[in-house]
Amino acid sequence: MKENMKTIPAMDMILSQDWVCSWIARLGRAYVKDIISRNLQILRSRLKDNDSEIFSWEEFRRTCIKSFTHSGLKRVINATGVVIHTNLGRSLLPEEAINAAETSAKYYTAIEYDTENGTRAGRNIHVEGLICSLTGAESALAVNNNAGAVMLCLYAFAHGREVIVSRGELVEIGGAFRLPDIMSLSGAKLSEVGTTNRTYLKDYEAAITPDTSMIMKVHRSNFRITGFTHEPERKELAELAHSHNIIFMDDAGSGYAAGNFPGEPEIRQCIHDGADIVTFSGDKIFGGPQSGIIAGRRDLIDRLKHHPMNRALRPGKMTIAALEATLRLYLNGEYGRIPTIRMLSTDTDTLRHNAEELAREISRLIRAEVHVIETDDASGGGSCPGEMLKGWGVFVRGNIQAELRSMDIPVICTAKDGGVIFHVRTLQEGEAKIIAESVAKIFSE
């Protein structure tokens, strides 16, 4: 055996270290052992390749702790000012939705059971009527997410047939949702019309063939086209589709059902303007659980309900429960109880006041440059692109962004001009205090 390989301690020796024991208490022996063994393997192959390198306890400990802390879904503090932050879980659920999800997790529920007749029933019935009331649609279906909703519609209505889409709407949403790819995966044939900036009704009309199944409109969720542009009205597209006996589908992306979000399509309006099918995300501006909502014509939704792919996209019971509760808040007009809507519409005076409080709290604990600052917040999550939300935050001088991320509850913030900025718009109750304590801890080290 090579000399430097002998410096690697045995597994039992490592497992008896104090710092390892504390992790065993938290994560369990089997899991900790697995992680250590994987790190040892990496180390062995490294030492084999490099004669001059020997085992370092300090480095090994650091590597292992990194693996330990990176395991598991952690709560974080969103101090970015981006309300619908996809990497941080998009929408926070309303209290009512949390309670409903909890009940469905804790107890048996009649999720697919008709208590009156003692027979099987569909899980969609708990949300369908509510979605119809809210959107004005004849019928509705909830699936796992909006990408799934679009996929299901294309598969069910356009497999082996043509779908006409404007070149200005061939979007990529992120997380590998690219419209042309979804289209080919579903077996639909993409028929691109118009140009990036200008597409006319006559372009759509000229592309219609006996093989065409639908005209599809896709919301430009995360970018804007400005300047020399043109696109037909929804109403015109609907009329054109109907005069040729084909479907007009609208992927509204985020879509909204209450409030005023510039540039975002309102779902009720899409239906009113003649869309046969509208799809949107349940966890973007809508502010509910991750889900894809499909609203539209009864005969079409019926076909989706009976499609085998629908079974593969079925939402879980906690999702149905939370979605139902969120829908009820909308129907009762209690938008203020929906965290996403609330955070998007917090007024700047309140934000400024909250920023001043946070600044005071931090200044009490550390001696460094701390001051309130105006911020550019965003709705995020593929909604209202280019629309900046004026916000307020707290600037703290120091390159501490990475350290803030390594806290027990990581604080995610922005950095600028040699300091960090905590945007207060996206902070939840009690989080200002945690931020102040985290900053104090970093400065005292």
What residues line the site for ligand PLP (CB under 6 A)?
A: 145-147, 150, 173, 177, 218-219, 221, 251, 253-254, 281, 292, 382
Which is closer to ligand PLP, CB of 254 or CB of 414? 254
CB of 332 to ligand PLP, least distance (A): 25
* Residue 160 CA to its chain's centroid (Å): 31
Structure tokens, 380: 């995020």
Which is closer to ligand PLP, CB of 167 or CB of 441? 167
CB of 125 to ligand PLP, least distance (A): 22
Which is closer to ligand PLP, CB of 145 or CB of 319? 145
CB of 293 to ligand PLP, least distance (A): 10
Which is closer to ligand PLP, CB of 86 or CB of 363? 86
First-last CA distance in the chain: 42
CB of 254 to ligand PLP, least distance (A): 6
Which is closer to ligand PLP, CB of 93 or CB of 355? 93
Q: Which residues pair with 165 in a beta bridge?
A: 192
Nearest Cα neighbor of 426 from 90, 175, 94 is 90
CB of 416 to ligand PLP, least distance (A): 28
Which is closer to ligand PLP, CB of 179 or CB of 238? 179
Cα gap 68→49, rounded to integer Å = 26
Which is closer to ligand PLP, CB of 177 or CB of 443? 177
CB of 292 to ligand PLP, least distance (A): 6
Q: Which residues pair with 294 in a beta bridge?
A: 141, 279
CB of 51 to ligand PLP, least distance (A): 50
Cα gap 284→436, rounded to integer Å = 29
Cα gap 230→209, rounded to integer Å = 23
CB of 266 to ligand PLP, least distance (A): 15
CB atoms within 10 A of CB 24: 14
CB of 218 to ligand PLP, least distance (A): 5
CB of 318 to ligand PLP, least distance (A): 17
Which is closer to ligand PLP, CB of 86 or CB of 109? 86
Q: What residue has token string 């801890």?
A: 441
* Residue 133 CA to its chain's centroid (Å): 25
CB of 392 to ligand PLP, least distance (A): 28
Cα gap 420→399, rounded to integer Å = 7
Q: Which residues pair with 178 in a beta bridge?
A: 172
Give me the DSSP letters along 14-46.
Answer: HHTSHHHHHHHHHH-HHHHHHHHHHHHHHHHHH
φ and ψ of 171, to 5 deg: -85, 155
Cα gap 281→342, rounded to integer Å = 18
Q: Is 295 helix (H, G, I), strand (E, B) or coil?
A: strand
- Contact 321/101 with Cβ under 8 angstroms? yes
Composition of the chain by helix, strand, coil, percent to 5: 45, 20, 35
* DSSP classification of residue 378: B
Say which residues have a Cβ less than 8 Å from residue 344's Cβ, sequence separation at least 6. Answer: 83, 259, 261, 285, 379, 389
Which is closer to ligand PLP, CB of 79 or CB of 323? 323
CB of 169 to ligand PLP, least distance (A): 9
Say which residues have a Cβ less than 8 Å from residue 210's Cβ, sequence separation at least 6. Answer: none
Which is closer to ligand PLP, CB of 43 or CB of 216? 216
- Contact 216/165 with Cβ under 8 angstroms? yes
Name the closest residue to ligand PLP (Cβ): 253
Which is closer to ligand PLP, CB of 139 or CB of 145? 145
Which is closer to ligand PLP, CB of 282 or CB of 419? 282
Structure tokens, 393: 């935050």
